[in-house]
Structure 1
Amino acid sequence: MRILNKKSSILFFGLCLAYSTFAHAQNDYENKLEATNEEGISTENQTNPQVKINQDPRIKRLLNIKSSMAKEGEFSDRYKIQLYYGNLNKANSILKAADEAFSKWEPSIQWETPNYKVWIGNYRSRLEADRALKEIHEKFPNAFIFKPEKK
């Protein structure tokens, strides 16, 4: 079973809070409608019934965190392509070359004692990564696809 990290836990709690707030307001509104109908009060003259929902301001912040996490691929397994593994000077030159050659994918340097890795892309499916690898192999023939481990 996957254990939720701190960001995911906060997001989950916030979404539960938002849902319970919305459900409570919905129930209050429905109860008011039922009460007026049971008492025989006519609602034909009321043109704009309104519901006031008191929403916690932290919900908007949590939704922004969730959308940024979704863009970064925190919620699903993603594929990356490794271009290089070795010293820092060569890694920087590979990073620069990859950035110039493949502007649609963002390259990055990762440090793993004592070497540096140059990764590119953030692909949702293996097929998407395979298509990119075919293009990348023209410039970097030793590149390969992998799934980074979650920390």
Structure 2
Amino acid sequence: MKNAPSYFKAKFSAIGCCIFFMAFFALPNLAAAQTRGKVEVVKDPLIDTLMARRASLNKNNLTGEETASGYRVQIFFGSSRQAAYSAQAKFNQDYPELKTYIIYNEPNFKVRAGDFRTRLEAEKLQKEIAGMFTSLFIIPEKINIPKTDTTND
């Protein structure tokens, strides 16, 4: 029985040490974690320049021409590069005022002609060249808006 009070005394002294440790070391750290601090953002000034440049590129494409939704007539579709260039040359010979575009999506080449704002304009060209090319399609896509002539004749 003599050992019984010393056992409880030792147990309570261990608990007392834990409470002492919590009161003096852990609680002040928890209280300090609740304070607010400042966040400082450090960035390169070139980021602002790049963001402004990207905004200007979104307005105009790289060639400086404005784009809009419109239509083009696809005059060639195939896997031969030489055939695509010859179809483009054949079209440009008869219609030099219309732009042509060669698009390569592996493994096929596509030749598209014109920058038409309405489908009706594209259908008109499609009917005109129906005898020259075998498969003609009207494709809706972004077109380069033709520049208007502002001079008075």
TM-score (norm 2): 0.50
AA of the residue aligned to 2:99: E
Q: Aligned runs of 1:1-151 on 2, under 5 Å?
A: 9-10=55-56, 68-70=64-66, 74=67, 76-86=68-78, 87-148=80-141
- Compute the TM-score of the two structures, normalised by the length of structure 1: 0.51
Change (3 A) 1:136 1:7: farther
Deviation sequence 1:41-78 (CA, Å, 0-9, x none): xxxxxxxxxxxxxxxxxxxxx8xx589432xxx2x211
What SS does the corresponding residue of 2:56 show, helix, strand or coil? Answer: helix
Ranked by relative contact order (alpha carbons within 8 Å, sequence separation 6 or more), the top structure is 2
Query: CA RMSD of the aligned region, Å?
Result: 3.0
Q: How many corresponding residue pairs?
A: 90
Q: Residues 119, 134 of structure 1: CA spacing in aligned structure 2 closer, same or farther, 3 A cutoff? A: same
- The Cα of 1:143 is off from its aligned counterpart by 1.1
Flag the structure with larger Rg: 2
Deviation, structure 1 residue 9: 2.8
Q: 1:97 aligns to what SS in structure 2?
A: helix
The percent identity for this pair of structures is: 26
- Residue ranges of structure 2 left out of the alignment (5+ in a row): 1-51, 144-153
Q: Which runs of 5+ in 1 are unaligned?
A: 1-5, 13-61
Question: Equivalents in 1 of 2:81, 2:73: separation in Å?
Answer: 18
Give, in whole Å, the separation in 1 of the partners of 2:130 and 2:112: 14
1:100: how far off? 0.5
